[in-house]
Each structure stands twice: as structure tokens, then as C-alpha cells.
A and B are shown apart, each in its own frame.
Chain A
Amino acid sequence: GQQVMQIPQYQHVQEGEDFTTYCNSSTTLSNIQWYKQRPGGHPVFLIQLVKSGEVKKQKRLTFQFGEAKKNSSLHITATQTTDVGTYFCAGTFSGGYNKLIFGAGTRLAVHP
């Protein structure tokens, strides 16, 4: 079936270090989205990427969609304690636009 693999599962960084999480699919994605879930909270939509090779930035966050639309990454520059949480990617596939396939998430811990 259609799956979205996400790595790493956990990442511990010192405040100020960079962080990257990666998502991969064996099948071409129609689009990919990123969500952030703070501890004890619910997932919050961050961004959607649709075009091949697309790069979007939100302050210290950089999102990329691969040329083949099979992979994506989220990079955080100079992490802060407010970045703590779990980051999920989620994709839609051709013919399945009504549901998102979520990656397992990357839990980020930031040590001050």
C-alpha cells in the first residue's frame, strides 16, 4: 500500500543547532504537507508543497519537495526551545485526494 516513511524517529539537539527531518515515498506524491504537534497538543498545519522541486520558507523553517515528488524535508535553522514537538509529514497520492497518509513523525527535543 501507499506509505510515507519518515526519519529520524527522534532527534535531540542543543539549542542553536540545526535540525532536519526527511520523508520518503516509493510512489509519486500529489502533494506533501507538514504538521507540528506540541507535547500534549494536537497537530497543527504548517505548510503544503505541490510543485516538483518546490522550496518554501517560514522564518527559520525551510521546506523542500523533491524533483521526483517522492521525498521532502523540513530543516530548522538555529533551533529554539519553542521548536520542541513532533513534526509529521503527510502526503496525498493520485486518486486518493480525500485522505492524507501520515509519516510516523520525528520527535524533536531541544536542550537549552
Chain B
Amino acid sequence: SQTIHQWPATLVQPVGSPLSLECTVEGTSNPNLYWYRQAAGRGLQLLFYSVGIGQISSEVPQNLSASRPQDRQFILSSKKLLLSDSGFYLCAWMPRQIYEQYFGPGTRLTVT
């Protein structure tokens, strides 16, 4: 069966510090991968998605970036965090042509 991992579960970072969140999927190959951000009590904002290694589509211009160095690995990064970057970051994967997304447990980021 397929499993998606995200870490860390919670993170508190000062403004201006770098960020690296990692997501990995097991039990499947060549999935679509997604990064979402959710503010408290709000909906899901799509940040990035990837349909293959090295292929990244950005949905929201901001100080975040994403990379997919391996087929089942998706990384979200920032060089300098802003207060507005606080939120619940969710990674998701989708089997090709199935159009059902499966979410990881998420990372709660607080920028202080």
C-alpha cells in the first residue's frame, strides 16, 4: 500500500531563517506531487505541484520554492521566512489519471 511521509510535524522558526520541509511517498512510482498551505481555519492554497523529476509548477509567487530531486521526494524551501509564511503545510500525492489526492499528516509552521 502507499504511504506518504512528512516531517517535521511541527516547527517554530524565527523570521529570516531558512526552511526545508520534506515529503516522501512509498509504494508507488511516478506520482504527481503537491504542496499546499492552509492558514488557521481556512481553505487549501496550492503552492507548487510536480508531474515528474525536476518539473515544478508554481501557483503563487512568493518567497518559497520547491524541488523534486527524486521520483518520490518533494521538498519545500525558503531562504528567508516571513511572518506570513506561518501555517499548516500539506504534501499530497496523486496517482496518474486517477485524480484522487492523498495527503500527508502535515507540518505546522510558526514563524516568530
Question: Which residues of the partner chain A approach B49 to less than 8 Å between Cβ atoms?
Answer: 98-99
Cβ distance A106 to chain B, nearest Cβ, rounded Å:
10
Count of residues in A whose CB is under 8 Å from the partner chain: 21
Q: With an 8 A cutoff between CB atoms, is A92 at the interface? A: yes
A30 to chain B: closest residue by CB: B99
Please tell me if the beta carbons of B99 and A103 are within 8 angstroms of each other in the complex.
no
Question: Which residues of the partner chain A approach B101 to less than 8 Å between Cβ atoms?
Answer: 33, 35, 43, 45, 90, 100
Please tell me if the beta carbons of A33 and B99 are within 8 angstroms of each other in the complex.
yes
Cβ distance B11 to chain A, nearest Cβ, rounded Å:
16
Question: Which residues of the partner chain A approach B32 to less than 8 Å between Cβ atoms?
Answer: 98
Which of A31, A42, A104 lies in contact with B104, CB distance below 8 A? Answer: A42
Cβ distance B77 to chain A, nearest Cβ, rounded Å:
20
Q: With an 8 A cutoff between CB atoms, is B90 at the interface? A: yes
A16 to B18, CA, bound (A): 49
Which of B59, B94, B103 lies in contact with A43, CB distance below 8 A? Answer: B103
Cβ distance A62 to chain B, nearest Cβ, rounded Å:
19
Q: With an 8 A cutoff between CB atoms, is A78 at the interface? A: no
Q: With an 8 A cutoff between CB atoms, is A68 at the interface? A: no
Query: What string of 1s and 0s marks CB contacts (under 8 Å) between B78-112 and chain A?
Result: 00000000000010101001011111111000000
A42 to B103, CA, bound (A): 7
Question: Which residues of the partner chain B approach A97 to less than 8 Å between Cβ atoms?
Answer: 97, 99
Please tell me if the beta carbons of B100 and A33 are within 8 angstroms of each other in the complex.
yes
Q: Which residues of B contact A (CB under 8 A)?
A: 32, 34, 41-44, 46, 49, 51, 57, 59, 90, 92, 94, 97, 99-106
List 9 A-B pairs, Cβ < 8 Å: A31-B99, A42-B90, A42-B106, A43-B90, A88-B43, A88-B44, A99-B34, A99-B49, A105-B42
- For the complex with contacts A100-B46, A107-B41, 6 further pairs of A-B residues with Cβ separation under 8 Å are A33-B100, A42-B104, A44-B103, A45-B100, A48-B100, A97-B97
